Structure 1
Amino acid sequence: MNETTNTSVNQAISAATSGAAEHDTQHIVYEFARATTLEGWWSWAILVAAIVAILFVCIRLYRRDTAELSVVTRRTLIGLRLVTIAALIFFFFDLHRRTERMVTRPSEVTILVDTSQSMSLPVGSMASTESRAERTARLLSESNLIEKLETEHRVSIYSFDQTSDPKLLESRGGPAVTNPGESELAQTRPPVSKWATAGALLVGLGIVLSVLSLLFGVAGRVELVGWCVGGAALSFALGITSLGSVYAINTQRSLSQILGVEPTAIEPVLDDEPTVDEATKPLRVSDWAKELAATGAQSRIGDALRSVLADHDPSTLAGVVVLTDGQNNGGVGLTAAIATATRSEVAVFPIGLGSSSAPTNVRVVDLDAPRRVYPGDKFAITAMLQASGPQELEVDVQLLDKLDDDDAGTNEADPTANLGEVIDSKKIKVASDGTLSAIRFEMEPESVGRRRLAVRVVAPKEDQNKRDDVRDARYEVVAKKLRVLAIAGGPTREYRFVRNLLFRDKSIELDVWLQTGRPGMSQDADQVLQEFPSRPEDLFQYDTIMVFDPDWTAISAESLDLMDRWISQQAGGLIIVAGPVYHPQWTRLRTDPRVSRISGFFPVNLSTRGALLSGGRQGGDNPWPLEFTPEARRAEFLWIAEDPAESFDVWEQFGGVYDFVGVKSAKPGAKVYAHFSDPTTEIGGTKPVYLASHFYGAGRVYFQGSGEIWRLRGESDAYFDSYYTKLVRWVSEGRLMRDSTRGVLLVDSSRVMVGETITVRAILTDDQFEPLSVPEVNAKLLAPSGRIDDIKLLPLKGEPRPGTYGGRFVVREAGSYELRLTLGDALEEQVLRQSVQVRLPTVELERPRRNDDELKQLADMTGGTYSPMGEQTDLQSLAGSLASLLKPQPQTTVLPGTPDIDFNRRRNIVLMWLIATMLTMEWVTRRLHRLA
């Protein structure tokens, strides 16, 4: 007896692991348990001999005992006894039923896609070619590669760049697995109603014939008794076997339900598709071009391979497809990844993007220019050039400048046209091996306003791409002098050095309030104040307020409210230099309502437990260098030398500071630039914040943990001057860049790398200068390529000041971005602008050529195949070839189940029923024929 029931379940495995769906098939298996315990031929020989002997003895005795009876009666009695013996033998062999599961794990294929910034380079050598990332997106979206693979494999697609672990983008496919419907299950089950009805009828017939045999016996019709008893015995044997089989198999239904006397509970109907938990639903990508944007600062091919090999079962992994240019410049090397793949016996199939040759081409990779300058101030422009070709190139590089005309479009025929007047030109030799070469220009602005400069390469005739011969940037010449108010609790060194610096700066008007000074004292300033400005017209004229360990209690609550308005609504910039004298005093005040207002200005949460318990330090014995954060590398005011790298070399050589004030943590949304580096000051795993900033409404507030940057003068006076000059201009940016009286538009960083996220903040009013109250504000983002995107700004939640909107956007290409927000109608239109300069990291541009050698080695060592994909490669042919190379390798595991206890119980009931019936009929028959 054998019965098989198939049920299939499509189980979604976690995206972080294998991602494979298991095909779970259940088979109901019947087997004789006793037969599995008999070992050796002699055991079976003894058992068969014993059974044959029992049958022989039984038949011989019964034939001799019934020799005087009719043939029908004689055979009936022998048959009844043989059925009883057969039932006992069946019981001896101990028939069991168990559910055997066959778990089939489908074959898997993983696809790794490089999204580092080198994938933004052309896939080929012609000017009209697409980028490597765009080519990859087309392969996945337009070819039928995924569709072909998912018919035989579970496909998981990852992106990787500078992170150690790749990101899962899409998970789909595998052999189609669906649950059978009720009709399919019914085909595999015994026809319950048919066999149960037939068995019941046969049992009923046996009862009728048994009654007739008794009646014929009483009537003396002995010749008919044998036929009735024989028919009844046959009916009972067949009926009990048929009905008992259905009863034993259907362990969830009673005999009355099987016979239809009692209604059966409705079984749930399986859906055509398995239910999948929402958390483990297969992932789908709607826009491959967006998901595969080349934004990563590094390409960690080795790390990505090792990660997917660790997360997927190598026994079912048919292969790993890697779409990359082969330039592994971060993490572990390809040798370690090859070793891991070889041990796991997983083949890797690299697809190389880019050009293996080095066409003659020179390009402007990056342009570093300031966002704003002042008339008469010389400023530097630095451009990075890169070339490829058979030999070193000597080219002319031009610097162009013009007014920023919004209506001036790009000349598609010649992208280097309409860039303005050439104001300088230099010759430079550029190596052809892909290394970067820097060229520096200096210029002095003449006219005030928004301007646009460009660096253009006069490329040779053999240059393959004219579109990359130029890079431009926007800047603004600000004629207005900065109005700075410096407030100091006492004449500290920091205050005096900064005061003298700003007083000598012709672009700054400096007023000072030395709180400990006496009337009539001499100060190097344009105006000496005796108190904090109390009227809006007096305070709102300043662009920046610098406070050096001030006595905050000397400022009235009304004046603090006025300062709050000046920062949050007028986009004023506040620089707070903490100190050891007054800072511990006002932070210990408990009842003064001004404390909460003052603390609100700070970008950090201050400790208020007093000088001894605050965690600060006063009068330290040793200086400690500043420990800069990654955010500091993007802060231009910390670039105190000619370039960022040299600047932070200077900061590392700087001896450091002795003291800092107590800070518990940075506030949400604040940017931390540096920590005090003494490890003994660490609390809760974090060192004290020394430099930080945040937006306070429309304005910026900058915090410095002590007034000791004057020590930087030990390296050079120029570094100290550069730090504070750039810092003052940076915090006053909101005031300087205001394009409208109706608001201000700010970005958290004006110079970023490709792939970074820019946070936008807008503080807006309506035409009545009341805070703007609309559900959303739309801005336009102009990309370097000319593409215009919509940026939606929404009201910031939790912002106490109405009219404050925020949003974000990701920069995905190098060049100059401009964000524009238009207010008012056509008659009184006002446009707010902010520009962001985006550049590529040099590590991703040093080797632009496709690395065929390492990719081929990766394929050969792991048993895969290397397929270079150039600009002429047919995507459909490549997809078909790759699909044919990846052979499915599913894995099937058999899980034996435990015996069904309910089946055993019902089996024994049926056997007892059959044996009892047969013995009873034998006894009655013998009694009717007066046998012993």
Structure 2
Amino acid sequence: MNNAFDRWVYWFFAGDAAHEAEGLQSSIQWIAPWAPWVTIAILLGGGALVASIYYRERTTKQPWYKATLAAMRIALVALILFMLYGLSLRPYRTDTPDLVIALDDSQSMSHVDALSGEEASQVESRLSAGGYQEASRWNQGRTLLLAEDWFSQLLPHYRLKGYFISDSGRAWSGDAEQWNEMLASATADRPASRLGDSLTEIFQQQRGRPTAAVLLMTDGITTEGKSLADAAVVARRRGAPLYVVGLGSRQRQLNLRVEDLDVERAAFVGDPLSFKFRLGAAGMAGKTARVTLRLKDDPKVLAERTVPVASDEMTRQLDLQFRPTKKGDYTFVVSVEAGDEEIDLSDNEATAQVAVRDDAIKVLLVDSQPRFQYRYLKTLFERQLKPASASGRPENAFDLTAILQDSDMEYADQDAVAERAFPASQDELFQYDVIVIGDANPAFLSRINLELLTKFVVEKGGGVIFVAGDQYLPWQYGGTPLASLFPFQMDGAQRPAPPLTDSIPVKLTNLGMASPPLQVGSNTSETLRRWDSIAQLYWLPEFATLKPGAQVLATARDRFDAKGEPIPLLMQQFVGGGKVMFLASDDLWRWEYHDPFWMQSVRYLARASILGGGWGAELAANRNEYERGEPVRLRVRFFDDRKAPTSDQGVTVMIEQAGGRQRRVSLARASGSRDTFEAAISDLPEGEYRAWIAEPVMSNATEQAATSFRIEATAGEMARLAADFDELRAAATAAGGKFYTFSDATQLLKDLPPGRQVRIETLSPIPVWNSWKLAALFVSLIIGEWLLRKRGGML
């Protein structure tokens, strides 16, 4: 029976429903004089007999009058049967269920949040009414318990148990009547928040006790040990729902950070350097962050960007671009600033080293006829000067050799850069850095020439650019040694339809937007605009099947192949130690930005060759310091990508803790990159660490292939001050409870479950069948029926 019916039965038959503080339950007991079906038969038969007698009664009274008399007679029969059963009331004394009140007294609870608007007015007025001048989280909790008198409202229904939770679960001293005085003098100054562990300890102490609920009052910040989600699992298993009051503000402490700075570690003078990094911002919603690029120990700003912050927690991928004008080895610094409000500035900048060179690039240009594309390239490579030179005099940026297959014999004598025949030996060919092959006739190239070209890419690590033509390339190269260099299957190449009247618009892929050769603008948006401006592309073949390692950098915007994919315009792939690019159209000579694209493409392909073998690899962590549990992201970058392993899992890093054991970690190749490998490790304990590249062996780059970092214990109480309402809400839901803020916390008192009472004492049974109240009821029914019959003239 429910509590209300229990109390009514106990009052009616026992005459006393007191003892509310201790609680009371009861049950009915009887000894049946016969089988239950006999009782049912008597009730049904007696009821039918009484109903038929009154039905045949001759009287002028209304039917309802006779029905009332019949009901009274049937009630007399039921009352007699009730008394024959010898019913008795078995009362039990019960113990009210426990309600655990857990109040966080860690140091973060003493924080005064910067509130605004209606929320600030409401909080301050309620705290002021309770006698508190400072609107700290601690005072908000005490306002609810003391000033708004929660204890007196809860005591009649529960056995209250109070605990402080922070570094451990500590029971409140004294009885509930003494808690007001104790809390009035208590302070929130504990140095750690182990909320999950503290709640688990409380559940251990509550083992065997009926717990209606746990009333948790905290800001949700856990700095050590188990999370509240772990404690919620225990609470649900114990049948003790969490009713959580979140105290504080979700506004995060202002912090800006620069992470994962990435840039080409080698470039030529005038090349665009793209400094890519992740900008993190916390507690800065509605503000702006200024990001700058400069040289180390030089205040001059080389590039800058102002970034609006739309939310309190933001992570955004950004880049800054700069073109170096002098050669040298530089250390660049990317930093972010937001004003004087930020406290921790240790993660506001990141550095990167870049080697800038101005060596002349040796280029071999091969074509069958003097097409427009050939003429433009030849003129560009002959006349282009270096942006700066060591001598101070004009110097050519390229050292060009040109081979025109269909020219007459005198052409080579008349043109200073022309040669009659393709290099016949490996030594002759390997002196070049980049080879540009246009619509060259493979019939003029011996098999030895073609094999040397393949070795140039695979073994030397040279760069090759193929430019498609309408006669030979790539149509006549199937089955030749060069077929392995093309980024597509030769048998799937289809010649384009007759020249179009409308230009084919061009679109950069995501990889293309980040590729150095394609950066023809001062920034990403300008680069996209310039590629969109191509208006004279009338010739573009289709390629049915790309090779697995092929990377598409640019495509036709509105032309698709049979698979529904955009038709590629510019592709690249890594073969052996070298790079290969394929330009599927020879119409780019009409483009306004033809020259910047080609200069940057040739420089990109020549970097490894020009910089030589003295460059090894760099191992870097995204930060120098981490809190325990934070992921440590390691990245290996090969300055000469010819030395990068061919396997996507080909890099292994050894991590050694100071005075501890070593651990091997495998790094995976970053998407879209040949020279970069990455891994994230999140389970390292506190301590100092040193990491170095174990595989592949870097014999002459030891200093560049190692890094150090430190794992610290979880930050102290005041390092993270934003109340974690999401964590609190999730924990309350997982434990079957509810979440409240300070503003709506009074609703909690109405929502608390009643809990389960425990019988602690069996009282003496109370006979019910011979109660004077039943006798009085029996007599009343008899007299009442007689009076009604007499009044109705039925006697």
TM-score, normalised to structure 2's length? 0.47
TM-score, L = length of structure 1: 0.41
